[in-house]
Amino acid sequence: MIKALAPENWKDYELIDCGEFEKLERFGSYFLIRPEPQAVWKKVYPDQEWNKLAHARFRREKQKASWRSGDSENGGWQMYKPMPETWNITYPLASGVITMRLALTSFGHIGVFPEQAENWNYIVRAIRSLNQPAPKVLNLFAYTGGASLAARSAGADTTHLDAVKQVVSWSRENMELSGLSNIRWLVEDAMKYLRREVKRGKTYQGIILDPPAYGRGPTGEKWVLEEGITELMELCSQILAPKNSFLILNLYSLGFSSLIANNLAENFKPYIDKEFGEFYLPARSGVRLPLGTFLRLKK
């Protein structure tokens, strides 16, 4: 059965409203308006309400097919009210509270994808269910590290890999803010790293995948989701431990349904549990904003 999941009880985050290709969100004490290509319907709240609440708004010069493609040349922030350049938010996990620094970046991101909080809870549960000391967990395309923090807080021997050096530095700062230590940091192309790990015969008890629709490696390697996802999953199936392990895949391309995520699980048979579906954020205004599909399985 296809599931629809959303994070719950997060005091530092709230989706207020969305529509007309934008979303109004609260992060801590600050309200931001950002582009949202999936919000094709009309806004529920009037523009006056949005403008009254907003501290800042990011505008793109043109619509992009993927919110996560991250083009630094196609937009900028318009400031409405005073707010700091950076600020922190927290999220309560069963394994402890994690803290993340947020900032208004030049391409519209701020350092967290809130729908992923549901995955962070799953990571903690999955690691605890392994019932082994310091299981090895690999987080690929790891961004600012929410999943890495969740894994490390649950006791995992955690490797965090991203192609952007500045993002990895941001993740390290989040680790320190969260009172954690000893995450392994890699600035690397994910596919090159996976191929080497296969040759080395390495295995992991947990793999977390958050591939973008488009991307570049640290030395210009090109990544296109549709072209690379099959090899990505095949390589991961070779390094995921055959028993007592888990895998999480997130997909944000608008053309990738949860059924595609489910079909990609074929590489990992046999498994003992599998779930797939889509993440969404419930808005204060009553609408639900879909934000990508997921696959989660255990072996």
**What CA–CA distances, in Å, run from 16 to 26, 37, 44, 45, 79?**
7, 17, 10, 9, 19
pLDDT at 62: 58
Same domain, 34 and 97: no
Nearest Cα neighbor of 25 from 55, 63, 64, 69 is 55
Same domain, 15 and 97: no
**Residue 149 included in any domain:** yes
Band (72; pLDDT cuts 50, 70, 90): very low
Asked if residue 207 lies in contact with residue 155, where contact means CB atoms within 8 angstroms, the answer is no
Angle (CA) 277-282-283 rounded to 5° is 150
For 221, the token pair is: 């390697």
| pTM, two decimal places | 0.92
Q: Is the model's pLDDT at 63 over the cut of 90? A: no
178-201: buried (b, 16+ CB within 10 Å) or exposed (e) per residue? bebeebebbbbbbbebbeebeeee
Q: Is the model's pLDDT at 55 over the cut of 60? A: yes
- 21 Cβ contact partners less than 8 Å away, ≥ 6 residues apart: 35, 36, 37, 39, 40, 63
Among the ranges 67-81, 163-177, 222-236, which has the highest mean pLDDT value? 163-177
Same domain, 256 and 123: yes
Measured CA to CA, the distance from residue 112 to residue 224 in angstroms comes to 22
Helix axes 190-200, 225-239, angle to 10 degrees: 30
Q: Taken in order 283, 288, 293, 295, is the CA torsion positive or negative?
A: positive
| CATH code of 39's domain | 2.60.40.1180
Let me know if 40 is exposed, middle or buried by CB neighbors in 10 A (0-12, 13-18, 19+): exposed
pLDDT at 67: 43
Same domain, 205 and 284: yes
Measured CA to CA, the distance from residue 170 to residue 178 in angstroms comes to 12
Same domain, 79 and 93: no
* 242 three-class SS: coil
Q: Widest CA span of the chain, in angstroms?
A: 59
Number of domains in the chain: 2
Same domain, 71 and 93: no
Same domain, 147 and 281: yes
Taking residues 99-115, report their average pLDDT.
Answer: 94
Q: Is the model's pLDDT at 138 over the cut of 80? A: yes
Q: What is the dihedral of CA 202, 156, 185, 226, to 10 degrees?
A: 60
- 148 Cβ contact partners less than 8 Å away, ≥ 6 residues apart: 139, 142, 158, 160, 171, 175, 183
**Domain residue limits at 75:** 8-83
